[in-house]
Structure 1
Amino acid sequence: MGTTDIISLVKNNLLYFQMWTEVELLQDVLPWKGNNLNLLKGRPPHKLSNDAEDTGGDKGPSPIQQPEFILPINMSQYKENFLTLECLSRIFTQLGDSTTERILLAIINDDGTIVYYFVYKGVRKPKRN
């Protein structure tokens, strides 16, 4: 599965299945280990986390969600130690936005399924249940 296929698959999943809006491919490309990493940016339909500090005490979803950054990668890249701390640090540096505390990692399996994981900038305190 090529880079363009991965990006299209994640973008379509976010737009048509997850109901995100304003999903777009960022122009900046990060060269990494012979590949180019592309980031997507979009707005989810609701808050993606139930952290107490993220909710601010509100019970309902905010009408305007902050944009999230998404890094689509293939499962084979994930397994081959392709995604390292140095790589993630470069991604956060490239974003250049000091308010960006996390990105959404989109891992695509060979059968087309996608799983999403948060990757935080720095160490983060675990959530309370």
Structure 2
Amino acid sequence: MPTTFPFQVAPLPLPTPPERQLAIFADVGGLEEYYVLFQNYGFGGTAESWVEHIETIIEEHQPELLEELEFEEGGHTFVAYAPSQAVAERFLACVLPFFGTLPRLQKYLSQADPGDFFA
């Protein structure tokens, strides 16, 4: 199975609503190198910042996917809910090219304008 770092995918305990079968999450508070990289480029690096950037990436590359995901705001953990494994896999295929490694994230952040983001 290919790596999903920095994300993990886990089924939610039953009963769950159909749109929240799986949680896609990342412990943003425990990823110090990611936080520092966000900060170096003028971004927050918080879970809210991750949501904002990930929504932007998905909107640009797979906008229809946004209709199938639900994002949770707040806390030290990035969380997106997916209705199926197929949707989770599409999320990972879209986002990992930008978030999967520090060099990839650095390339993305170096091209993003901090003025376009709130968090």
The structure richer in helix per residue is: 2
Q: TM-score, normalised by structure 2?
A: 0.33
The structure, 1 or 2, with the larger RCO (C-alpha pairs under 8 Å, 6+ apart) is 2
Structure of higher CA gyration radius: 1
The structure richer in strand per residue is: 1
Q: TM-score, normalised by structure 1?
A: 0.31
